[in-house]
Amino acid sequence: MWTLADYVRLNALRYPGRTAVVDDAGRLTHRELSARAQGIAKGLRAAGVRTGDHVGILAGNSIFCAEAFLGVIAAGAVAVMYNWRWATAELVHGVASTEAGVVLVEAAFADDLDAAVATGDLDVSLRIFRQGPEFEALASTPGRVVDPEVGLDDPMCVLFTGGTTGFSKGVVLAHRSGVVNSINERLDVGIANEEENVGLSLTPLFHSAALLCVFAPHYMSGGTNVLLYRFDEQRVGELVERERITTSFMIPNMIRRLLQAGIFETEGFQKHLRQLHSGGGLLRMPDKQAVRALTPNVRMFFRYGLTEAGPMVTRLLNRDIMRPELDGSIGQEYSMVEARVADPASGETVAPDELGEIAVRGSAVMLGYYKIPDATAMALRDGWLYTGDLASRDEQGYFYFRDRAKDMIKTGGENVYASEIEQLLYAHPAVMECGILGVPSSEWDEEVRAVIALRPDRTATDTELRDYLRTFIAGYKIPKVFVFMDPAAMPVNASGKVVKNTLRQLVGW
C-alpha cells in the first residue's frame, strides 16, 4: 500500500495540471508541488538527513508549509510540526524534546525561532533553513528522485497535544495514520470523493485534523487544498466564492462567527459549498438549524477525535445531525476504528448509558509519546488507547462526550462537568469565550467558578448569566463566582480551546 510520501511522486504523474495548493501568495499544480517537494527531499538528503531523522517545520497555513511537510516525508524523515503560536519557552521545549536536527522556518516566524536559539537551550548543531535564498537553494537541489524508504509502520510525523494543562507532548504517528484517515474520510463521509474537490483548511496544519483529515485526503485524491493563514470571516467568504470551495472543516466557534457575519448567506456558500465538517467542541442544535436553514444543500458532519488516536474516532453523519434526540452526540465510530466506553479502573466495558472513559483501538493510533515512556504506558494499555475523555454510549452505539476526566469538578459530593456549563454559556448570545474551573473550597471540596469574555457589542452581568443557566442545570452546577475578562486576554490555543492552566494563573486561582 502506498504511503502519503509515495504520492509526492504519484501525483505528478496522475494529476500534473490540476491545482494542488493555494494560499494568499499564489498556487501550485500537482506537478509543481511534487517538483518542489522532491527538491526539498534531495536537499535534506544532501544535508545529511537520513530515514527516520526528525526535521522541524515552523510555518503557518501556506504553500511553504505544504511543500516543506511533503518534502520532509518524501526524504523518509519525520516531520515535526511546531505550533507557531507558542511562546519562546514552549518553542524551545518543542524543538528540544523532539530532537530535531534541522528546522525549516517560514519567514514570518524566523524571529521566533531565533529567540528560541538565543536562549542557549537548544543544540548548537541545529541547522536552520529559512524561507528565502536558503530554502530556495534547498528546494532546487538537483539529482535523482529520492526513494523515501519508509513503510506504513514507520514514523511519519510528530504532532503536539493541545497543551491546555501544561507543556504539549509530542505524539508520534506512523505513515498508516495518514492513509487510514484518508480512507476513513472517503468511506464514511465522502470527503474528496468527487473529481473537482476543493478543501479549505481553516485550522492550523500543525494539528492532526487539518493535516490528516482535510489536507491528506484532498492531496491523495488529486484535489485542491486552499490554505488560509488566519481565520477571518470576510476572507472565508471571498475564498469560498473565488476558489469554489466544496469542503471545509471548522471548529464550532468559527461557524458561529460566520453565521453572525452573514457569510452563510453569501453566493459562494450557496453555490459551491457541499460539505461542512466540525469538531473540537460540541456544535449545538441552534447553530446546526441556522446552517441548515441558510444552506439546505450542504451536508453537515461532526467529528470527535484526538491527536493520539491519529486522530479521528467518531462521526455524526449528515443523516443524524439534525435529529433532536442526538443533539450532543459525537456519533458512532469510523469504519476503521474500534471504540468503547471503559471503566477507568478495571478497563472493562461499561453498560450502555453508563459513564466511563473512551478507549480506542485501530491502525491510526499513535506509536507513542516521543521519549515519554511513562505517559505512553499510561495511555496505551492492552492494545487500547485510553483517551482521558469521559463519555457514555447508548444502545445504538452513539457516543455522548461529557468532559475531560481532569476537567471534572467534584463539588459537595456531586460531579460537575465543566464542558456542560461551557457549552451552555457559548450558546448565550453575549458570551464569546468562557472557561469553567474548579477551585479548592473548604466547604464544597471544589467550588465552580467561571471566567467570561463577552462579545464586544453585547453586555451581561453575573446575575443574568446565573439566571440563564438556572433554566438548564441544577443549582450546584452554577458557578459561584464569575470573572469577566477582555476577549483579547483570554488564553486560547490554536484549536480554539481555552488554555486552562494559563487561565488559572491569569485570574489567580
User: What percent of the chain is modeled with pLDDT above 70?
Assistant: 98
Mean pLDDT for 235-257 is: 94
Before 311, cis peptide (omega within 30)?
yes
The residue ranges of DSSP E strands in 183-274, in sequence order, are 198-201, 224-227, 247-250
Q: Collect all residues with Cβ–Cβ distance below 8 Å to 427 and sequence separation of at least 6.
A: 284, 286
Is 433 in contact with 453 (CB distance < 8 Å)?
A: yes
Phi then psi dihedrals of residue 84, to 5 deg:
-70, -10
Start-to-end C-alpha separation, the chain: 52
Q: How confident is the model at residue 216 (pLDDT cuts 50, 70, 90)?
A: very high
CB atoms within 10 A of CB 194: 14
Does residue 316 register a pLDDT over 90? yes
Domain 412-507 adopts which CATH fold? GMP Synthetase; Chain A, domain 3 (3.30.300)
Cell numbers linked to 182: 484518508
> How do strand 54-58 and strand 102-105 relate by DSSP bridges?
parallel
From 341, 299, 340, select the one nearest 319 (Cα to Cα): 299
C-alpha neighbours within 13 Å on the C-beta side of residue 126 = 25
Q: What is d(CA 418, CA 438) in angstroms, rounded to the nearest whole number?
A: 8
Class of domain 4-189: alpha beta
Ramachandran area for residue 105 (φ above 0: left; ψ -120 to 50: alpha; else beta): beta
pLDDT of residue 24: 92
Output the CA angle 205-308-85, nearest 5 degrees.
Answer: 35
Q: What is d(CA 334, CA 186) in angstroms, rounded to the nearest whole number?
A: 11
3-state secondary structure string across 150-188: CCCCCEEEEEECCCCCCCCCEEEEEHHHHHHHHHHHHHH
From 162, 185, 187, 159, select the one nearest 173 (Cα to Cα): 159
pLDDT of residue 404: 79
Q: What is d(CA 314, CA 300) in angstroms, rounded to the nearest whole number?
A: 14
Does residue 162 register a pLDDT over 80? no
Q: How confident is the model at residue 508 (pLDDT cuts 50, 70, 90)?
A: very high
| Exposed / middle / buried, residue 486 (Cβ in 10 Å: 0-12, 13-18, 19+) | exposed
Which residues of the chain does CATH 3.30.300.30 include?
412-507
Q: How confident is the model at residue 476 (pLDDT cuts 50, 70, 90)?
A: confident
Cell numbers linked to 315: 462521526
Does residue 163 register a pLDDT over 60? no
Instruction: Kindly report the average pLDDT of the chain as a whole number.
Output: 93
Q: Collect all residues with Cβ–Cβ distance below 8 Å to 508 and sequence separation of at least 6.
A: none
Which residues of the chain does CATH 3.40.50.12780 include?
4-189
Residue with cell 480512507: 183
Does residue 453 register a pLDDT over 80? yes
Q: What is d(CA 180, CA 312) in angstroms, rounded to the nearest whole number?
A: 10
Q: How confident is the model at residue 146 (pLDDT cuts 50, 70, 90)?
A: confident
From 279, 311, 276, select the one nearest 290 (Cα to Cα): 276
Is 460 in contact with 454 (CB distance < 8 Å)?
A: yes
- Rg (C-alpha) for the chain, rounded Å, is 23
Does residue 165 register a pLDDT over 60? no
Q: How confident is the model at residue 434 (pLDDT cuts 50, 70, 90)?
A: very high
Cell numbers linked to 162: 493541545
Does residue 148 register a pLDDT over 80? yes
Mean pLDDT for 244-258 is: 92
Q: How confident is the model at residue 166 (pLDDT cuts 50, 70, 90)?
A: low
**DSSP letters for 410-440:** EETTEEEEHHHHHHHHHTSTTEEEEEEEEEE
pLDDT of residue 144: 82
Does residue 222 register a pLDDT over 80? yes
Q: Which DSSP helix (H) or strand (E) runs through 291?
A: helix 285-294
pLDDT of residue 194: 65
Our measurement of the distance from residue 276's CA atom to the centroid of its chain's CA atoms, rounded to an integer in Å, reads 15
Mean pLDDT for 132-140 is: 96
pLDDT tens, 68-98? Answer: 999 999 999 999 999 998 889 889 999 999 9
Helix, coil or strand: residue 34: helix
Residue with cell 450557496: 270
> How do strand 356-362 and strand 384-393 relate by DSSP bridges?
antiparallel
Strand order across the 247-250 sheet = 26-29, 19-23, 224-227, 198-201, 247-250, 275-278, 299-305, 312-316, 332-333
Cell numbers linked to 148: 523515501
Helix, coil or strand: residue 140: coil
How does 2-20 read in b/e, with b if 16+ C-beta sit within 10 Å? ebbbbbbbebbeebeeebb
pLDDT of residue 492: 87
pLDDT tens, 369-401? Answer: 999 999 999 999 999 999 999 999 999 999 999
Mean pLDDT for 453-467 is: 95
Q: Collect all residues with Cβ–Cβ distance below 8 Å to 104 and sequence separation of at least 6.
A: 40, 55, 56, 57, 58, 59, 68, 72, 129, 135, 138
For residue 48, what are the β-bridge partners?
Answer: none
